[in-house]
Structure 1
């Protein structure tokens, strides 16, 4: 399909920006540029929720900031215990945080009728691999152990994330499969292979918002030179066995350099007998689900993902 007109308009507005010099770019400058651009503030705030509560969770190297989103009560006004979804934000393992992804979390909470626990993790290069993965694992373990304390059902837990956060959600679903019961994983255009570049890097690696050079830079920030980028904590796609991993809903974007690894992961899950729903969102670019109020596809994709979460968590 042709590029979505709303995506094309956004890309056209950015076409005159100077190309970054990745050989000289540092993480602090990248974060400052994102903040100055104000992208997150330009998008819709997401659906209304009943409450948002900031928390601090114990992590392997200190407290992890988190925010709990509680959906508005149902039509019956009941106080039924809700399911719980642990969400990890994208940003290439280098940038972003709870605030930049609040609209995604509010919308998923409201439309899936689930508590959403959005968790910050240590960012690279200050904390390189596997720091983010270890933080994510600790957060899901904590959430599972404290579900009742949070007002959630102890038997209905999901993980979710976009981009780099999708990587962390997939890592948790794999690594905790024999420890924590995870009902579902919702992965939005996830990073799943840090060891290889798939053909979509070549096809969509320039001029589609997320470019191949930026992905290489992210990985250079995240990994030390001697890190094993192919190990399961880094590259969920390369995990030898996917038996008993939680069912998945995976949303890829047609014009995304990460498209192929997301779709290959869905195929591998299906081959392992894991229920996996894959939707390639037509005409769309990486990060589109965050663009509420700007892209109609963001609203539609989050409704689709929320429906999948609800169906898995309220069987």
Structure 2
């Protein structure tokens, strides 16, 4: 992407809230008493005007669009963090990961394994590049971002297995990076939160994570909650996008209600790791994220919940699109750092 196009996009977003709303239909976008950030309202309007018909959509096109969005709005990593490549040996695959190692370390802070968004179909290490560096610096802890394999080339459960391999490696190797021995946390946004929630459930009795960070997590592939309909046209996660992802990710014979696909469907949530759960206001997944936080609390799990009402799904990948998104990243990084240090 040319520097000129990037400059022009950010120049357009630098206009006043009033100008951005005027350029996006003339009225603020308000649903359920929540008002969408004007910069994201402008981006949503632009996306609708330029949308490709879904019958012409391909995985390659959607991946290219996602990568372009990361390039435009992902931002640079923060300073004071060294970045290294690390390969983790999985069941039949060497999983690429990126380690974020803070210059100033806090040896009390647990290592965090992070999984990016993308429905199991799109996304990359670049998707959460800035956020992972913020987490590492704020906590003084190593953060491992995982390049799990994507569908449709690798359908369920391959991506999950890559994430599990990375988590197990982190638990076994945390001390190498100055973190507490034999401990690690899991986290992710959207599909990444989905993987984190499943890992927290599967390892609750063997190698339980010290924390699960769930950002607008996909925890119920069978959901028919009101937000699935109220925000079915909300950029960037629309009903058509969700349907496309599910068709690519799930093998034909798999039950989408299986707890390894829909962790909200697990009957017993007792004994799980403490959770930080964050949702976005303009998001189909809003209700299921809130439901999961409520169920964790009801099961006696220490849980903190917050909804960023003015933001859309995927805001972790768009910190430079709006000051509100950057502020959300900083808040989540600060609260996660406190939890990793055991002071939350």
Normalised to the residue count of structure 1, the TM-score between the two structures is: 0.92
* Corresponding residue of 1:254: 281
Distance in 1 separating the partners of 2:275 and 2:71: 27
Q: Decide whether the 8 Å contact of 2:74 with 2:129 is kept in 1.
A: no
The alpha-carbon distance between structure 1 residues 306 and 281, as it changes in their structure 2 partners (threshold 3 A), is: same
Q: Decide whether the 8 Å contact of 2:96 with 2:146 is kept in 1.
A: yes
The 10-residue stretch of structure 1 (126-135 or 85-94) with the greater mean CA deviation from structure 2: 126-135
Q: Decide whether the 8 Å contact of 2:81 with 2:103 is kept in 1.
A: yes
**Of 125, 128, 148, the match for 2:155:** 128
Note the alpha carbon deviations across 1:97-128, whole angstroms, 9 max, x for none. 11232111111111222210011111101111
* Corresponding residue of 1:72: 103
The answer to whether structure 1 residue 305 and structure 2 residue 338 are counterparts is: no
**Of 213, 217, 224, the match for 1:190:** 217
SS state at 1:154 partner: coil
Distance in 2 separating the partners of 1:10 and 1:29: 18
**Of 253, 259, 263, the match for 1:232:** 259
* Corresponding residue of 1:107: 134
Give unmatched runs, 5+ long, in structure 1: none
More helix by share: 2
Note the alpha carbon deviations across 1:206-238, whole angstroms, 9 max, x for none. 043210110111011000111121112111111
Instruction: Map residues 190-229 of structure 1 onto 2, 5 A cutoff.
Output: 190-229=217-256
Distance in 2 separating the partners of 1:287 and 1:69: 21
* Corresponding residue of 1:3: 36
Shift of 1:13: 2.8
* Corresponding residue of 2:58: 26
**Of 293, 299, 307, the match for 1:280:** 307
Q: Decide whether the 8 Å contact of 1:45 with 1:292 is kept in 2.
A: no
Note the alpha carbon deviations across 1:271-305, whole angstroms, 9 max, x for none. 10111111111111001122222222222222222
Q: Aligned residues, how many?
A: 309
Give unmatched runs, 5+ long, in structure 2: 1-33
Distance in 2 separating the partners of 1:287 and 1:214: 13
Distance in 2 separating the partners of 1:82 and 1:2: 36
